[in-house]
Amino acid sequence: MTVLQPQSLACTTPEDLLRVRPDAPKGLPIDAINAACERANSVLMLLSAQFDSDNDSRFSDAIIASVIWDVQGTIEQIRTIASYANECAIQARREGGKA
């Protein structure tokens, strides 16, 4: 009899596997943060149109859940980018440079 080992939940979403590239320039990647924010905002705007009182059709619950999951993933990408910028600032301070 084979006993199944519990699987780690550390890599259950794409965000768990995505990291900042090692050759990324140091500093605050504001363009990447702005792009991620615009993507999340666009998805939320599309979703908000779903609840317009003039709309006779409705997305399925699965589609709405996927939209919410997408925005959560984008927020995690923003968090990853912000953490990278923070790590760069800490490293710069330790080395005596400007943050």
Domain boundaries, the chain: 25-52+59-94
Tokens read off for 92? 């710069």
- pLDDT one-digit tens code per residue, 13-64: 677 777 788 888 888 889 999 999 999 999 999 998 888 777 678 889 999 9
- CA dihedral over 48, 53, 59, 62, signed as positive or negative: positive
7 pLDDT above the threshold of 60 = no
Angle between the 61-94 and 30-49 helix axes, to the nearest 10 degrees?
A: 160
pTM over 0.85: no
**Residue 15, token pair as written in the block:** 């965000």
What local confidence, expressed as pLDDT, does residue 49 receive? 85
Q: Is the pLDDT confidence value at 97 over 80?
A: no
Give yes or no for residue 66 having a pLDDT over 80: yes
